[in-house]
Structure 1
Amino acid sequence: MKILIIEDDPKIRTYVGKALKEAGHVVDLAEDGESGLHLCMNEKYDVLIVDRMLPKLDGLSLIKTLRGSGNLTGVLILSALGDVDDRVAGLRSGGDDYLVKPFAFVELLARVEALGKRSSSLPLAQSTLLRAGDLEMDLLARKVRRNGKIIELQAREFRLLEYLVKFKGQLVTRTMLLEGVWDYHFDPQTSVIDVHISRLRKKLGDTGNTLIKTVRGAGYIIDESV
């Protein structure tokens, strides 16, 4: 994989970069948010490792800018801030995973590889536009329209809908959603998927559940005939 590390601590940046190269990956390094964002906008990466507290442009602002531009590269946030509220803020900014400093490299490597697998498991889009019936998603502008009407979605809702639409006409299991949208490799035993699906249906006006159909005990299917 090709990985970009955006980290202002030279010891961490050098150590992680060297270790990832030894593990067989191609690695680029950036020491501040501005240079990291420039690389992200001009190079293609499989995974980004982003420190939260960065000079010139902080990590969460960097991630929000990327997501706003349609960049969906998997992001692992590194931070010394480990409270629940800090982790939630990181994930809500568009991060896919969150690792608290200090960390074991073997765990970082496992998380990076999991993000890479998730990204590579998604079907390749032929363009930045996805369609399913009267629904249209513009991945570059981060816009969703149904019957020509713009639908405002939060970042996680957008990712959930994108995942479903990319597999339109196919069963998307709960496990696929947990791994592909939340990067959970275990069942959190919560109603997180049900809650987000319910909100998504409401925003899309899918009152009869005809666009996003539930397959009881299995998952969901996007019906593109709607």
Structure 2
Amino acid sequence: MPSFSGIELVKRIRQLGIKSPVLMLSALSQTEDKLQGFEAGSDDYLAKPFDLKELHARIQALHRRSMIVIAGNNHVLSIDNLVLDLTKMEATRAGEKLTLTPREFKLLEYFLNNQGRVIPKLEILEKVWNLNDEINTNVIEVYVNYLRKKIEKPGLKKLIYTHFGIGYVMKFNEN
């Protein structure tokens, strides 16, 4: 990119509050490069050279995972068979109603609004708890564990993944 990097572009997009899925295509293929892309707000990262079939599959997967339905005043966020209705303040997984505390609801909403993006713990602390580093990030681990117990029951696909030393990502793996 001539005037600024792809990383900078993604950061600017996210700073503007744009939640559209972003797939980074880059000649940089080291793990550190990919992590920088994810930390900037990219939803997926594909290093060159790549197969066009893989690119197509990744685009389809991003589209499928980022289904956010807005109908009238109904704001619904979803991934796989997990649905969060912001108007009714209800969550369901595979049709079963989930009982969430207000903090769990807010954490789940933040994960759903940032699907596929690795979210650093300090960002979660700031956005969900409205704090900077005034409390230990262990509280995040505790609440993520509570949320996992409620949404990742036996027979259902895992949706929240830990990126050790960084934070968490909500994504749907078809495998």
What TM-score results when the alignment is normalised by the length of structure 1? 0.43
**Partner of residue 167 from structure 1, selected from 114, 122, 127:** 114
Give distance in 2, aligned partners of 1:203 and 1:134: 13
Q: Using a 3 Å threshold, how does the CA distance of structure 1 residues 187 and 148 change in structure 2: closer, same or farther? A: same
Aligned length in residues: 107
Ranked by relative contact order (alpha carbons within 8 Å, sequence separation 6 or more), the top structure is 2
CA RMSD of aligned residues (A): 2.5
The alpha carbon displacement at 1:189 in A equals 2.4
Give distance in 1, aligned partners of 2:137 and 2:127: 17
Structure-to-structure mapping, 1:1-226, within 5 angstroms: 123=19, 127=70, 128-206=75-153, 210-225=158-173
Contact 1:172 1:221 in 2 (8 A): yes
Q: Which has the larger radius of gyration?
A: 1
Give distance in 2, aligned partners of 1:167 and 1:215: 15
The alpha carbon displacement at 1:223 in A equals 1.3
What TM-score results when the alignment is normalised by the length of structure 2? 0.55
Corresponding residue number in structure 1 for 2:6: none
Segments ≥4 residues shifted beyond 6 Å: none
Structure 1: unaligned runs, 5 residues or longer: 1-119
Structure 2: unaligned runs, 5 residues or longer: 1-15, 21-67
- 2:172 partner SS: coil
- 2:132 partner SS: coil
Give distance in 2, aligned partners of 1:148 and 1:167: 22
- 1:141 partner SS: coil
- 1:188 partner SS: coil
Question: Between the two proteins, what is the percent identity of the paired residues?
Answer: 31
Give distance in 1, aligned partners of 2:17 and 2:106: 14
The alpha carbon displacement at 1:209 in A equals 8.1
